[in-house]
Every structure is written in C-alpha cells, then in structure tokens.
Amino acid sequence: DGGITQSPKYLFRKEGQNVTLSCEQNLNHDAMYWYRQDPGQGLRLIYYSQIVNDFQKGDIAEGYSVSREKKESFPLTVTSAQKNPTAFYLCASSIDLRTYGYTFGSGTRLTVV
C-alpha cells in the first residue's frame, strides 16, 4: 500500500543533541512538507520541498534543517539551536505544490529530557 512512513514514533533527546526524524513516501509525490504541532496550536510549516535537491523554509524554520537527496525521502534534523523542540512532528506529501490533498504520516513525538 502506498503511504508515508515516519520514524521513530517516539523520540527522546537530551538538550544540546541533534536528532533526525525520518520521512519516507512511496506515493511518487513530488512535494513534501514538515509541520510541527503543539497542544492548542495549529500545524505550523517548518520546511517544504517541491523537487529533489530543492527545499524552502516555512514559517518556523529556525533550528531545523532538511535534505531532499531522493524523491522518496525528506528527513528533518532538529538541531541544538531549536530552543523548544518538544512537539509532535508531521510529515506530509502531495502530488505537487499546487495540489492540496496532502497525505500525512503518523507523526513523531519528540521530547527533550
């Protein structure tokens, strides 16, 4: 079945550490996105990518980095520069940037300990 796989489901990070969240899709979608969700907040866009080797900052990119070396993969690194990284992270994909019927992954819950 086609879909988006995020791993791990739960992740604990010590302060000062970088961690990488995985996002893989087999839908042959060109566009991929990373959102952050905090309690009582909507989803906020971190980064998005339209094609391989190209990505753009969203509204809250500071302290995060991404790469898009393969069409299927869009990993997100939460760096030590992100001061409040505890949140639920959702990856999504769509056919292209103009198609809004996103498919979401099941998310990764990151907790700083």
Listed ranges 11-19, 40-48, 67-75, 76-84: which one lies at the site for another protein (CB under 8 A) = 40-48
3-state helix, strand, coil in the chain (%, to 5): 0, 50, 50
Minimum Å gap between C-beta 48 and another protein is 5
Residues 75-94 that bind another protein (CB under 8 A): 90, 94
Minimum Å gap between C-beta 100 and another protein is 5
CA 80/CA 73 separation, integer angstroms: 22
Asked if residues 4 and 94 have their Cβ atoms less than 8 Å apart, the reply is no
Site string for another protein, 16-35 (x = CB under 8 A): ---------------x-x-x
Cis ω before 39 (30° cut-off from 0): no
Query: Which residues face 70 on adjacent strands?
Result: 73
Between 5 and 17, CB nearer to another protein: 5
Minimum Å gap between C-beta 90 and another protein is 7
CA 6/CA 24 separation, integer angstroms: 7
Which of 11, 27, 43, 60 is the binder for another protein (CB under 8 A)?
A: 43
Examine residue 99 and tell whether it contacts another protein (CB under 8 A).
yes
